[in-house]
Amino acid sequence: MNILFDPYKNQLLYTAIAVALLLLLKYLLSKIIRKVGVISNYNDARTSLIVRYANIAIFFIGIAAISIIWNVDFEDLGLILSSIFAVIGVALFAQWSILSNITAGVILFFTFPFKIGDKIEILDKDFPVRATIEDIKAFHLLLRTEEDELVTYPNNLLLQKGVKVYGSSAEDDGSRSL
């Protein structure tokens, strides 16, 4: 049995260390994101979505680290990855808005001062909306207008437009502009 593992002793040790560090990073990052969610009074589903994005990023970092540890030939790996990314790139080119909405959702989680239940007005000359935020999803906001209509508004457009926050639906304490 030692004959099988002896040539790979260092790689196995470094892989174990890398996995342990990545699991620690995953745990700490999850704690930090959840703490930001609690401090900012964000919805649990919204916080869990950001944790999931962070876990995916850590997974790809882990794949890269293990590839380096095991001396994967990057020319062969580069050929495989370039082929995969070419196919994915063509497929996602038509769907670029999906990626921009996910990115906008992450930015909204960390930086914007509104949350579920807040009354907002989106200052858009073509489609002005004054509504209450019902939910914040990965791709869009669900807004309930004063006429009781349910409107979905893409996250990436929310970053491009001015937004006026009027406070929560429970308390109407005046307005503040973003």
Read off the pLDDT of residues 87-115 as tens digits, 9 standing for 90 and up.
777 766 656 777 788 888 888 888 877 88
> Count of CB atoms within 10 A of residue 4's CB?
7
Mean pLDDT value across residues 27-50:
91
Is the pLDDT assigned to residue 65 strictly greater than 80? yes
Report pLDDT digits (tens) over 150-171: 999 998 888 888 899 987 655 4
Selection from 64, 50, 61, 49 nearest residue 24 by Cα: 61
Average pLDDT on 69-84 reads: 80
- Which of 131, 112, 145 is closest to 46 using CA atoms? 112
Instruction: Label residue 13 by pLDDT band (50, 70, 90).
Output: very high
Q: How far apart are CA 124 and CA 163, in angstroms?
A: 9
The mean pLDDT of 1-13, rounded to a whole number, is: 83
Give the global pTM: 0.60
- Between 2 and 9, whose confidence is greater? 9
pLDDT beyond 80 at 173: no
Encode pLDDT of 111-131 as tens digits. 877 888 999 999 988 888 999
